[in-house]
Amino acid sequence: MILTNLKALNSRNLSSVAFRCYSSAAPKRPSALTDEIIRVDHAGELGADRIYAGQMAVLGNGPMGKTIAHMWEQEKEHRRKFEVLINQHRVRPTVMTPIWNIAGFALGAGSYN
């Protein structure tokens, strides 16, 4: 499909694509500080989402299940908002995302004591 689409592009279309990729119409990058704030907050919301996922895995059927599910839904919404911001401002997510994904779940699953 991609190869077919590339073959369909002639040199005029390619320069149009290049213009769109590098023109000032592209969303402006945030300042370094804003970039860092969005990245850190996104990581926090991702972690909260994964912690509640872990808690639900071990406590979801218990007396706290409904409360945890309610709190998890709130964190999912926070995460969704930061997913929008991270994409909208083209912020690089933390390099710790894969580890945080697993570690957050493990932290939540281990919090049943």
CA torsion angle 37 38 44 46 (round to 10): -170
Cβ distance to Fe ion smaller for residue 20 or 80 = 80
Cβ distance to Fe ion smaller for residue 78 or 89 = 78
* Local structure of 7: helix, strand or coil: helix
Please state, in angstroms and rounded to a whole number, the distance separating the CA atoms of residues 102 and 105.
5
Shortest CB 76 distance to Fe ion, Å: 9
The 60-79 contact track toward Fe ion, x by CB under 5 A, reads ---------------x--x-
Shortest CB 88 distance to Fe ion, Å: 18
Assigned token pair, 84: 């929008």
Largest CA distance in the chain: 65
Contact window for Fe ion (CB under 5 A) among 34-42, 43-51, 62-70, 97-105: 43-51
* 89 contributes a contact to Fe ion by CB under 5 A: no
Assigned token pair, 48: 């909260």
The binding site for Fe ion (CB under 5 A) comprises 45, 48, 75, 78
